[in-house]
Amino acid sequence: MKINSLYAVNFRNYESCSLQLSSMINVFYGQNAQGKTNLLEAIFYSAFGMSHRTSAEEEMLKMGADAMAVGVEYASVSGLRSCQSVSGVSL
């Protein structure tokens, strides 16, 4: 499986984030507490509907927001697929 794109809306510290990922290696770097792990958590949450870091969904919601959404588009042996998790809104 290869992840082609990722989006997050009101997820952790991201108000709106949309990434197109390389088919090769993708490296996320930056200072502590800038959101690198949040990107990995968004992938996990969109696939499984739960966080690997917390059981409280409210902790993933950006401060001041009342809804969030995350999703990925990926390629598998059966073709292009997508998965998303939404809390409080419909996309």
Question: In the numeric block, which tokens belong to residue 56?
Answer: 């409280």
Mean pLDDT of 2-10: 96
Q: What would the pLDDT profile of 34-78 be if each residue is shown by its tens digit?
A: 999 999 999 999 989 889 999 888 889 999 999 999 999 999 999
Q: Is the pLDDT score of 90 beyond 70? A: no
Question: In the numeric block, which tokens belong to residue 64?
Answer: 């001041």
Mean pLDDT of 86-90: 67
- pLDDT averaged over every residue in the chain: 91
Scan for tokens 């996320």, then name that residue. Answer: 28
